[in-house]
Amino acid sequence: MTGQLQQAAPKQLPLDLSVEVQRDVNGIEMGVLENGIPYLTQRGLASMVGVARNVIQTITKEWEDHYANPVIGKDRISFFKQYLFSQGYYETRLYLETIQNGTVHFNYPDIVCMAFLEYYAFESKVDGSTALDNYRKLAAFGLRRFIYEALGYTPADKWKFHHDRVSLLKDSAPLGHFTIFQEITGLVVDLITADLTVNHKTIPDISVGIAWGKYWCDNGLETKYGARVQYEHNYPSYYPQALSNPQKPNAYPDSALPEFRQWFKQTYLLTKFPKYILTKAKILPGGAKEALAISAMYKQKALPDSSGA
């Protein structure tokens, strides 16, 4: 059987993520990244599958060397391509590379680990008894749930960061003015619903505020609507940004609100948001593919051109 490989994904960069928890559980090293992705270390994966660690290293290298090969046949790496592509995994590496305390770590996400288990349980000619035993245990239970329970890990409330900011900033707008944070709450809700972790590393109101501020100045909107004013903005105490509380961003006259909303829907969401969200691809479970899907959310929501052109 042959097939064609999709266009090669861009080179994977180290993730700007920390490890939430990692331990050795019954001889298998496992952990969870702060965005909830469970993983096995290379040593842990070798133990789970029942092969030497250098075998994992070899297949990892094969994946990178042959990723761009469009032909899918019946060889070992073709099995991994078919399995992982069918699950939506298109990364150019089989591991997620993170940097912890200046040291590079290779973390194999659960979907990749299951590909290894299935290959050695059913496809490989070497003794796959260990892989088969573990595959049977995990087939129904799920590797993600297994790692979570083995580590006593409970995914954090993905709404906490946003809700805490909303509570802190709900009465912050000066009388007669609006704030960017309040106006883009709907966007933030959409991002969280799409499983983007909106926390201290993902603050869309900063991106929108910078772009709108430039638009405001470039188009002389102060002359049209009046001066913008600064207001006191604070981050929740557990945000790193809280060290510089209070910040002094701008609030804008309410009379400018219709123009802001039109600019936000017609300009920011359609032309600037896609670039912003792609910078967050590395912290999304689905990588660049998921980021592209999120960036396209608003294309069908664009308002018709009111000029009649």
Q: Stretch 78-92: mean pLDDT, rounded?
A: 88
Q: Stretch 62-89: mean pLDDT, rounded?
A: 88
Secondary structure (3-state) at 12: coil
Q: Quickly count: other Cβ atoms within 10 Å of residue 281's Cβ.
A: 21
Secondary structure (3-state) at 217: helix
Q: Which of 21-30, 80-89, 286-295 has the lowest mean pLDDT?
A: 286-295
Which DSSP state fits 241? G
Q: Are strands 28-33 and 38-41 parallel, antiparallel or unpaired?
A: antiparallel
Q: Report CA torsion sign: 110, 116, 117, 123.
A: positive
Where residue 309 falls among pLDDT bands split at 50, 70, 90?
A: very low
* 113-127, 146-160, 217-231: range with highest mean pLDDT: 217-231
pLDDT over threshold 80, residue 184: yes
In angstroms, how far is CA 243 from the centroid of its own chain?
Answer: 25
pLDDT in tens, 51-68: 999 999 999 999 999 998
pLDDT in tens, 10-34: 344 445 667 888 899 988 999 988 7
Question: Tokens 């994992």 map to which residue?
Answer: 56
Element (H, E) at 215: helix 204-218
> Six-digit token pair at 161?
């960061």
Q: d(Cα 281, Cα 291) in Å, to the nearest integer?
A: 5
Instruction: Starting at the earlier edge strand, list the strands of the sheet with 250-253.
Output: 177-178, 250-253, 229-230
40 vs 139, residue with greater confidence: 40
pLDDT over threshold 50, residue 5: no
Q: Quickly count: other Cβ atoms within 10 Å of residue 39's Cβ.
A: 28
Give this prediction's pTM: 0.59
Instruction: Starting at the earlier edge strand, list the strands of the sheet with 38-41.
Output: 19-25, 28-33, 38-41, 103-109, 96-100
Q: What is the mean pLDDT of the chain?
A: 83
- Measured in residues, the chain has a length of 309
pLDDT over threshold 70, residue 196: yes
Q: d(Cα 69, Cα 81) in Å, to the nearest integer?
A: 10
Q: 4-32 in b/e burial notation, b at 16+ Cβ within 10 A?
A: eeeeebeebeebebeebebeeeeebbbbb
Q: Stretch 175-191: mean pLDDT, rounded?
A: 91
The letter for the amino acid at 23 is R
CB distance 178 to 254 below 8 Å: yes
Burial of 245 (0-12, 13-18, 19+ CB in 10 A): middle
Q: 31-35 long-range contacts, Cβ below 8 Å, gap at least 24?
A: 31/107, 31/147, 31/151, 32/147, 32/148, 32/151, 32/153, 33/96, 33/98, 33/107, 34/197, 35/197, 35/283, 35/284, 35/285
pLDDT over threshold 90, residue 262: yes
